[in-house]
Copies of this chain bind each other. A is one copy, B any other.
């Protein structure tokens, strides 16, 4: 299932700005509006586009500080990992969670108002889960997005 070059142009434009009008999108990729509209619909339907979203600056919402929390779990089983994720991932300060190979089983990225809040979250929500063996917290100094996601050259 390879992505045609027109769809790649559509994806690039929508990643850059998902709120452009269908008309402008059609002009950019050089197709009629109706055709463009249909292609976008299919990209969503087939799961290539997972969602349209607004990115919000956590600092503007009163969470100027971010941290990574590396978590080691005791029995390193799929079940334990899933249970742990379910216990923490819905907390409002969690930005995302990554399940990993290696020493660290799960890495959480959190956005908080203060270092106090990191401590509260770490003790109250993370180490309180019985299967958590140990954690390490690292302050995030800076976070940069990579380039727009594009299809691999072939």
Chain A residues within 8 Å of B, Cβ to Cβ: 1-3, 11, 14-19, 46-58, 60-63, 68, 85, 89-102, 104, 107, 109, 111, 113, 136, 138-147, 149-152, 154
- How many copies make up the complex? 2
Choice from B46, B56, B95, B144 contacting A89 with Cβ under 8 Å: B144
Return chain B residues, CB-CB under 8 Å to A61. Answer: 3, 11, 48, 149-152
B146 contacts A17, C-beta separation under 8 Å: no
The contact sample of 14 A-B pairs, CB cut-off 8 A, is A11-B56, A15-B56, A16-B51, A48-B61, A51-B55, A52-B53, A63-B149, A92-B146, A92-B150, A96-B145, A98-B140, A100-B141, A102-B139, A111-B149
